[in-house]
A = this chain, B = another copy of it.
Amino acid sequence: MSIEVQKSGSVGLVTPQRAVFDEPLPLDSGRVLPSYELVFETYGTLNATASNAVLICHALSGDHHAAGFHQETDRKPGWWDSAIGPGKPIDTERFFVVCLNNLGGCKGSTGPLSVDPVSGQPYGPDFPIVTVRDWVISQHRLMQRLHIARWAAVIGGSLGGMQVLQWSISYPEAIAHAVVVAAAPKLSAENIAFNEVARQAIVTDPEFHGGRYAAHGTLPRRGLMLARMLGHITYLSDDAMRAKFGRELRAGKIQYSFDVEFQVESYLRYQGTSFVDRFDANTYLLMTKALDYFDPARETGDDLSQALAQANAKFLVISFTSDWRFAPDRSREIVQALLAAGKSVSYAEVDSNHGHDAFLMNIPYYHQLLAGYLRRVADEGGAA
């Protein structure tokens, strides 16, 4: 019995692919990546006119493994398996779906764990700071490599949604539809503040060694754990935490000790410690900086509608009521700027008490919305 049969709606077993780019990539920071590799996955089949391709952009701790399984024994599928697969909102029976690990990542694309061709040593903390615009340029090169001239849609949540916005600005002719989920046009001071505490947790960890922990045979486990614990608080809502944990005591009664007392503490410690085994601290730092710097209206005098004036895509913007990391107000800023620029935009505020994390969940109204929109995209674009 194959995994496809066992797991209905799954893309089944997938194998990551690699693309090597020898052309140097000039970055926003002024530095240049002499060459780089991108690891990516695809689901579904590219049609003859290459008109059914969809790009998925990942968020802070995401990667190229968005759907399906790498091995039959995998406990969990890719990070957005709830939305990607045959018959799912991002329907792999109609679309050719591409998802890559961004530059600076730690899951196979060139990043701090890769060897710097110039020095022959791992980049580590010397990997250049990359921006959302840098990512989009690198993604565009992958697009050309795959012989895709225009994405039927570029789709992303959170930091992924920022990449979608940047695509619509950087390559207006290369993107038919932009689906921006649980995003913001730029971080608020509070968002930056949370990122800064996470970064300080990592860089002040004595085992960080200025980012050269690998050379020292250490890992900044404590710092990365704290960063992830803090992140998790901002991904959930107050309501979601209340519903999930309330003030439930782990041992049934109060212990009056500094051990785990409440269930929510146990959950956070688990989230923090398990993250350390699957993520790189230097990458975490880079991802938070990409978030901080994203601000497409910086070059247009804080006028987002002017920044989006050149976009040709049609937009779907989705927010979630209990998301306080990127609240609905932030999505409405995007919508208003698009409307002011005369763009085609649909907007939906999805009722959910799951906080920012909602964008990864199978919330019926949200998935119906996404499915309905993408069905029209497929119909108009000549998808399979």
- Interface, chain A (partner B; CB < 8 A): 28-30, 128-129, 186-190, 192-194, 196-197, 199-201, 203-206, 222, 225-226, 229-230, 232-233, 236, 238, 241-242, 244-247, 254, 256-258, 261-262, 264-265, 268-269, 272, 285, 289, 292-293, 295, 324
How many copies of this chain? 2
Q: Which applies to chain A's interface (DSSP): helix, strand, loop or mixed?
A: helix
Contact (Cβ within 8 A) A258 B199: yes
Among the listed B190, B197, B205, B256, which residue makes an inter-chain contact with A229, where contact means beta carbons less than 8 Å apart? Answer: B197
* Complex Cα–Cα for A105 and B176 (A): 61
Is the CB–CB distance between A242 and B200 below 8 Å?
A: no
Q: Are B200 and A244 in contact (CB under 8 A)?
A: no
Among A192, A199, A241, A295, the one with the most B-chain Cβ atoms within 10 Å of its Cβ is A192
Q: Which residue of B lies closest to A191 (CB)?
A: B238
- Chain B residues whose CB sits within 8 angstroms of the CB of A268 once the complex forms: 193, 196-197
Assess whether A192 is in contact with B247, with CB atoms less than 8 Å apart: yes
The answer to whether A226 and B241 have CB atoms under 8 Å apart is no
> Contacts of A229 on B, CB cut-off 8 Å?
193, 196-197, 200
Given A189-B247, A192-B265, A244-B189, answer yes or no on A197-B233 (Cβ-Cβ < 8 Å).
Answer: yes
**Chain B residue contacts of A264, Cβ below 8 A:** 189, 192-193, 196
Q: A197-B226, A204-B222, A254-B293 given. 5 additional CB < 8 A pairs?
A: A189-B245, A196-B265, A200-B272, A201-B226, A204-B225
Please state if A226 and B204 are interface contacts (CB–CB under 8 Å). Answer: yes
Complex Cα distance, B165 from A137, in Å, reads 58
Most B CB contacts (10 A, CB to CB) among A187, A206, A230, A272 go to: A230
